[in-house]
Amino acid sequence: MTQADVKARLLEAYDNQLRTEAETPSAIFVTVHGPLRLATFLGGRGFITYRDLGGADQGKIRTLVSEALDYFKGQPEITTVEWKTRGHDQAPGLREALLGHGFTEDPAESIMVGEAKSLSRDVALPDGVALRQVREEPDVRAMSAMQDEVFGEPVSEAMVDALLHRLSLDDGMELWVAEAGGAVVSAGRLEPVPGTDFAGIWGGATRPEWRGRGIYRALTARRAQSALAMGKTLINSDSTEYSRPILERSGLIKVSTTTPYRWVRN
């Protein structure tokens, strides 16, 4: 099988298995509007996704954008809305329609997919660094605060609340950290997707002074091992340019891109 064949197979699995209700497992509720799935999450966050846009032309896409945004504008508790696009979709005029309705464009990320077994390997950690799974609130707060700091964002109480809520559901999500001297230096989530072959690895962040020492690779390998123990054979991740090369070296393939567009209530 050629590299192109492998990429096509993985992209097909991604589209068929993940771009369904599996994409919004922790939503408070989801409304289906034509091809769109409009999801409401804790913390005042709206999210728009879809398997495809059903061959809609530019005019229909403008209408869908307007109707979806009106839906969330009608919920006063919603403060931000994300429309998740994919680079391989047929979506004429979508970018222009989103920008015209007040969305702003975030940087594109790589959609990475591959075999979980390709990531599951022994990776040596630097002296004094240890990995562990966390569930208790103080640990979750320390993990989330580190991630916010690394990503250059204010500490988000809403994210902590959302993570604690997910843990209370016992839906399989796992939080993993790497610690040195009692401080979190790297962290990430594992999210098995029910009814699919997939588990997602998300939220990967490492403090700058600890990068380049194998910690993120070790954290990724440990999450892949946990995914395999759950019976998941495929891993997916939306990766920045920091993590993409690491995942590629581990055997994951860039199958497409994803670009989030965000609307914020004034």
pLDDT per position as a tens digit, 131-142: 999 999 999 999
> Residues 140-147: what's their mean pLDDT?
97
φ, ψ (nearest 5 deg) of residue 93: 80, 5
Q: Where are the domains of the chain?
A: 3-110+259-264, 114-256
Residue with tokens 């997910």: 166
pLDDT band for 242, please (50, 70, 90 cuts).
Answer: confident
Q: Do the first three CATH levels of 3-110+259-264 and 114-256 match, i.e. the same topology?
A: yes
CATH of domain 3-110+259-264: 3.40.630
Those residues with Cβ within 8 angstroms of residue 35's Cβ, 6 or more apart along the chain or in another chain: 50, 51, 52, 53, 54, 56, 64
Q: Are 233 and 75 in contact, with CB atoms under 8 Å apart?
A: no
What CATH architecture does domain 114-256 belong to?
Answer: 3-Layer(aba) Sandwich (3.40)
The answer, as to whether pTM is greater than 0.85, is: yes
> Residues 133-152: what's their mean pLDDT?
96
> Residues 222-242: what's their mean pLDDT?
94
Burial of 16 (0-12, 13-18, 19+ CB in 10 A): exposed
